[in-house]
Every structure is written in C-alpha cells, then in structure tokens.
A and B are shown apart, each in its own frame.
Chain A
Amino acid sequence: MIQERANLTKAQQQWLRWQRLLRAQRPGDLFFRGITLLFVLIVLGLVVGTAWILVSNSLPTIRRFGLSFLTNKAFDPVHDTYGVLPAIAGTLITSAFALIFAVPLGLGAAIFLVDFCPRPLRLVLAFLIDLLAAIPSVIYGLWGFLVLAPWLHNYGEPWLQQHLGFLPLFQGQPEGVGYLGAGIVLTMMILPLIISVSREVMLVTPVAQREALLALGATRWEVIRHAVLPFARVGILGGVILALGRALGETMAVTMIIGNQANEPSFSLFTPGYTLASVIANQFGEATPGLFLSAIIEAGLILFIITLMTNILARWLIASLQRQAQGSRGGRP
C-alpha cells in the first residue's frame, strides 16, 4: 500500500485526497437520520398496533354480525345482540352541529382579535380563550348536565319548538339531554381551538399582502376578505380539522349530556342518543368477555376509521388548496 502510494505522482495523490474529501461520509448526518427514522417508526408502529389490536379484538362481533353491526339499532347485552347505528348517527350529528356553529363563531372572534381588538385587550382575550381550551372536559360535562340540560328542558327547547317547531329539527319531546345539548357543549369545547389556530395563522399574513389591499383604498373588512383569509385559509382549515377530530372523539362531556339511549336516529335534535365514544364509556364498566367486549371494541374501531377518513379527506382538501396557491407565501415565485 505504502509502496503503491509512493509510486503515485504528487498530482495523483492530491487527486485522491480531493476525492476522499468530497466523498467523506459525515457521521453526524447518518446518526441524525437514524434517530429521526426510529422516531417515525415508533409512531407508525403505535398507529398500526392500535389498528391491529382494535381489529383482532373485535373479530368475534365482526364474524357474528358483519355489516349488520353498522345498521342494527340495539346495543343489547341482555340478548347478546349488538349494533351501533344510533351511536354512529349521534357522533356525526353532534360533531356536525358543533362545526356548523363553532367555525363561523371562531373565525369571527379570531378576526376581531387580529384586526379590530384594541391592543391592550388583545393579549388578555387571547389568554382567556386559551384558558377555555384548558378546562378539563369533565367540567364541561358537569356544566352541561347540571346547568345546560335543565335550562334546555325548561326554556330552550320549548322556546325553539314554539318558534321553529315546523322544522323537523325541533320536533319531539324536550328532554334537556340529547343531541342539542351535546352539540352545544361540543361547540364550546372546540371554539377555543378554532379561535387560537385561526388567530395564529392570520397573524402571520405578510404585511405586503395587507398593504397591497390598503393601498387600493380597501376597508378593514376588505383587507381581511381579500388578503388575510386567502392567505390563512389552509391553516384555518387545519384548525377546523383538529377541532373536528376532537369533537368526534370527545367522550366525557358528551357522555354526561347526550342521554345515552339507543334511540332510532332521527332529525330531531331533542332526541337523547349515543355517540361511539359514549357507548364505550358507558358500557365498558359492565363488559363481560365475549361478544359484549368485542362489540365495545368494534365501536372503537369504527370511531378510529371515521377519524382516519376525516383526516384523509382533510389532507386532500388542504393539498388541493395549497396546489391552488402554490408558492404563494412570499408573493413571489
């Protein structure tokens, strides 16, 4: 080796050295890549593992009931027959209700906080809103059960029925507990999430975009409408998806106010019902191994699938929005 090296001309030696320099593997990068890859694999493993456990443990009911599990109304341990149609309906109804009210409210509040609120008040309000997000869900549940439900039973629902009773939404017996109460509680719970995410993304709108509109004589609202919202919409959508995820899976608060009855799904918001999460919370304590336990786990599996599908839909939506505004962030290509 040494012999060979000595035979090389100086220029050749320099060339080899140069090659070695540029080809040298940097251990830092290798290490870093390994570590981050490991973390990703752990997360991936958790997701796959969760799915696997859900599927394998709900095999008894999947085998026994097949698709009828989705369409059967009764969740009946006494006769050992199970179905989660009311719970699926309840989950979707209460989450949709919450989104319909929380998105406009939250966006409005965020716009106020970013553009109209007097400066000193801004931080105080933002802090209070974040605090709202930190309240444990059982507290929301208690409030819903002890304050909201009686009020709805005595005043809210009768009033709605009297004035809007022609809508199928407000027909039936006012009970206090039910979709309406759960929807309201969920709205309150996801509102702070939507406000803070929207506020954060609207705050980072480039000044150049705002000034482009200002310089055209735009009003404050027009600046928001044409500069801030187009810029922030992807982020806002992300916040809404987070909120939807929370609404779909929220357990404690909803269980306390939804009524927990496997009623026929109906258009009436007054109907006491179930959500997938509240079925699990309610029945888990009494579950006996066998079909009963398997049914509960399959309810979890369905919730898992619903959440997964909304997330995929959301990713797709966000990606298509981003494609529309590709590379738009700095205002230059």
Chain B
Amino acid sequence: MEQAIAEQLRSGAPPRAGTALSIEQLNAWYGRKQALFDINLTVPPLSVTALIGPSGCGKSTLVRCLNRLHETIPGARVEGRVLANGLDIYGRGIRPMNVRRHIGMVFQQPNPLPTRSIFENVAIGPRLNLGLRGARLRELVERSLRQAALWEEVKDRLHSPAISLSGGQQQRLCIARALALEPEVLLMDEPCSALDPISTLQVEELITYLKRQYTIVVVTHNMQQAARIADRTAFFLHGHLIEEGETQQLFTHPRKKETEDYISGRFG
C-alpha cells in the first residue's frame, strides 16, 4: 500500500479541486414505500463521508440516488435536488448515463464481469465512454490497477478471468474499474461487508489514500470502520438523517439521543 502511494506521488497526477455534493430535500420511494425523507446533507470535496445506520435505514438508497442508479429499479422514484459542483444532477436535460460516468460506484458484492479478463474488466469503462484503445488504454488500465493497489498482484495474469481472483481482489478490481473513468466522486456501498479482515484493511487504506483525488461517500454498517476512515459521518434511522458532523465529534459527543443509543450499541 505504501508503495502504491509512493508510485502515485511519483506519477505526478495533478492535484484536483474535487467535487462537492450538496443534497437538498431529497425524498426517495420504492413503489409506494418511502425510503428517504427530506434529506439535507453536504459532502465536502476530497473527503471521505461515511453513512451509517442500521439495516433498512436508507443509507444505501441515498448513495444510489447520488449517481441516479436508484431510478433504474422498477417503480423507484426520487424527488429533490443533488447538486454536484452546483449543478443539479436531477435537473432538466441531465442524462443519467453521463452522471453515472462521472460519479463512480463500488457495490457491496464485488461484481466483476465474469466472462471478461482482469484487463477487460478495468478497460470496459474507458472503452465504452472514452473510446480509448491500444497503448493509451493499457496505460490507463495499469494506472487504475496501481491506484487500487492491485497491480502487483495481477500484472502477470491480466488476461486470466476476473473471477479467478479472491473476493478482496475482486473488490479492488471493481474499485480499479470505477477509477479508470477518473470520476469526480466515488460512491461505495458497503465495500467491505463481503470481505475478510485483511482485505477490509486493504480497502480501507485504499480509501484514505484515494481521498486525495476523489470525493468519497462510503456506506457502512461498521461503526469502527466509519471512525477509522471517515472525515465526516452521517447517521440515518428509518429514512431520516438524524445527525451529521465530523466523525470524531459524532462518535464522542453525539447531539441526538438516537445517535448515542446506536453508537453505544443499544440497538441496531
């Protein structure tokens, strides 16, 4: 991991200004069931924001609203605004495809394309969206795999099937796949819940390293994880945002009773 960071610094990627997200009065439904109620939340650029809360509290739904993936579920619906650098991604004339191309996502279960090779899995985004090929594509794939701290492990077998990797490697592959599009924001929906402790640690280190370049929103049900990696944390319960603030402050001096009950393990 250290090595990956050093490599990244040496590669001299330009520092980015980052993209801020601002969620305003967001409501979301699955059919007639409302999953999110009047959410207002700001995500500062180049930071890690953790969304925590018990199962079914709406944290995953929220993160899926941030790249317009929620609405692809039959019957699902969103109201409200999500401003990315001031532009409402639910605004008029905005194409969801373009939103998703610039706001990357990593899912709970590693979901590499099973019939494709490791290389192809990372290359697919740039191929589809940027029309890259040849040497430039190979370069981008290598850089993305390095960023995801997977390069050293797979560089000799780039053309073996992606499903030959372990679960943790698959998840880092999915991260590399998202990074290959050089997104503004990286959304991660419980990225470690299907991983063993060592892979979890690797992914966590990766997240803290990636925030130099990306705005990251990470959903987690693991409070220790939020405390380890997040600059800010938001606590959700029954579709409501209960409390949001700096991670340190939220865990040591919660303002709301529900937050305190949750982080002290009294429910959920």
Residue positions of A touching B, CB distance < 8 A = 119, 206, 208-219, 222, 226-227, 230-231, 324-329, 331-333
- Residue B58 is within 8 A (CB to CB) of chain A in the complex: no
The answer for the CA separation of A326 and B100 in the assembled complex, in Å, is 30
Specify which of B97, B114, B194 is in contact with A217 (CB 8 Å cutoff): B97
- Residue B245 is within 8 A (CB to CB) of chain A in the complex: no
Chain A residues lying within 8 Å of B177, measured Cβ to Cβ, are 212, 216
Chain B residues lying within 8 Å of A329, measured Cβ to Cβ, are 114
- Residue B252 is within 8 A (CB to CB) of chain A in the complex: no
Contact B105 A331, beta carbon cutoff 8 Å: no
* Segment 108-135 of B: residues with Cβ below 8 Å from A: 109-116, 124-125, 128-129
Specify which of A210, A226, A331 is in contact with B110 (CB 8 Å cutoff): A331
- Residue B25 is within 8 A (CB to CB) of chain A in the complex: no
Contact B114 A216, beta carbon cutoff 8 Å: no
Contact B72 A332, beta carbon cutoff 8 Å: no
Instruction: Kindly report which residue of chain B lies nearest to residue A217, judged by CB atoms.
Output: B101
Contact A208 B114, beta carbon cutoff 8 Å: no
Contact B98 A212, beta carbon cutoff 8 Å: no
- Residue B167 is within 8 A (CB to CB) of chain A in the complex: yes
Instruction: Kindly report which residue of chain A lies nearest to residue B181, judged by CB atoms.
Output: A216
Chain B residues lying within 8 Å of A332, measured Cβ to Cβ, are 109-110, 163, 167, 170, 194
Contact B105 A218, beta carbon cutoff 8 Å: no
Pairs A–B under 8 Å by Cβ, sample size 21: A208-B111, A210-B72, A211-B107, A212-B107, A213-B113, A215-B104, A215-B107, A216-B128, A216-B177, A216-B178, A217-B99, A217-B128, A218-B128, A222-B128, A327-B163, A331-B110, A331-B111, A332-B109, A332-B170, A332-B194, A333-B166
Instruction: Kindly report which residue of chain A lies nearest to residue B121, judged by CB atoms.
Output: A212
Contact A209 B113, beta carbon cutoff 8 Å: yes
Chain A residues lying within 8 Å of B161, measured Cβ to Cβ, are 325
Chain B residues lying within 8 Å of A327, measured Cβ to Cβ, are 114, 163
The answer for the CA separation of A94 and B127 in the assembled complex, in Å, is 40
The answer for the CA separation of A325 and B115 in the assembled complex, in Å, is 5
Instruction: Kindly report which residue of chain B lies nearest to residue A321, judged by CB atoms.
Output: B115
Whether A216 touches B100, Cβ cut-off 8 Å, given contacts A324-B115, A331-B163, A332-B167, is: yes
Contact A226 B69, beta carbon cutoff 8 Å: no
- Residue B74 is within 8 A (CB to CB) of chain A in the complex: yes
- Residue B55 is within 8 A (CB to CB) of chain A in the complex: no
Q: How many residues of B contact A (CB 8 A)?
A: 37
The answer for the CA separation of A263 and B142 in the assembled complex, in Å, is 63
Contact A218 B112, beta carbon cutoff 8 Å: no
Count chain B CB atoms within 10 A of each CB in A213, A217, A226, A326 and give the residue with the most: A217
Contact A331 B109, beta carbon cutoff 8 Å: yes
The answer for the CA separation of A326 and B161 in the assembled complex, in Å, is 10
The answer for the CA separation of A218 and B124 in the assembled complex, in Å, is 10
- Residue B164 is within 8 A (CB to CB) of chain A in the complex: yes
Contact A217 B125, beta carbon cutoff 8 Å: yes
Contact A216 B101, beta carbon cutoff 8 Å: yes
Contact B98 A217, beta carbon cutoff 8 Å: yes
14 A-B pairs besides A216-B129, A328-B115 with CB distance below 8 A are A209-B113, A215-B178, A216-B101, A216-B181, A217-B102, A217-B129, A217-B181, A230-B115, A230-B116, A324-B115, A329-B114, A332-B163, A332-B167, A333-B166
Instruction: Kindly report which residue of chain A lies nearest to residue B74, judged by CB atoms.
Output: A119
Chain A residues lying within 8 Å of B213, measured Cβ to Cβ, are none
Whether A217 touches B100, Cβ cut-off 8 Å, given contacts A209-B113, A211-B107, A230-B113, is: yes
Instruction: Kindly report which residue of chain A lies nearest to residue B180, judged by CB atoms.
Output: A216
Chain A residues lying within 8 Å of B233, measured Cβ to Cβ, are none
Distance in Å from the Cβ of B168 to the closest Cβ of chain A?
Answer: 12
Chain A residues lying within 8 Å of B147, measured Cβ to Cβ, are none
Write the B157-178 contact mask toward A (1 if CB under 8 angstroms, else 0).
Answer: 0000101111100100010011
Instruction: Kindly report which residue of chain B lies nearest to residue A333, judged by CB atoms.
Output: B163
Contact B107 A218, beta carbon cutoff 8 Å: no
Distance in Å from the Cβ of B56 to the closest Cβ of chain A?
Answer: 18
Contact B100 A328, beta carbon cutoff 8 Å: no
Chain B residues lying within 8 Å of A213, measured Cβ to Cβ, are 113, 124
- Residue B67 is within 8 A (CB to CB) of chain A in the complex: yes
The answer for the CA separation of A329 and B163 in the assembled complex, in Å, is 10
Contact A215 B114, beta carbon cutoff 8 Å: no
The answer for the CA separation of A1 and B14 in the assembled complex, in Å, is 89
Write the B46-77 contact mask toward A (1 if CB under 8 angstroms, else 0).
Answer: 00000000000000000000010100101000
The answer for the CA separation of A116 and B117 in the assembled complex, in Å, is 29
Instruction: Kindly report which residue of chain A lies nearest to residue B67, judged by CB atoms.
Output: A215
Chain B residues lying within 8 Å of A212, measured Cβ to Cβ, are 107, 111-113, 174, 177
The answer for the CA separation of A231 and B112 in the assembled complex, in Å, is 12
Count chain B CB atoms within 10 A of each CB in A212, A324, A325, A333 and give the residue with the most: A212
Distance in Å from the Cβ of B198 to the closest Cβ of chain A?
Answer: 17
The answer for the CA separation of A218 and B167 in the assembled complex, in Å, is 24
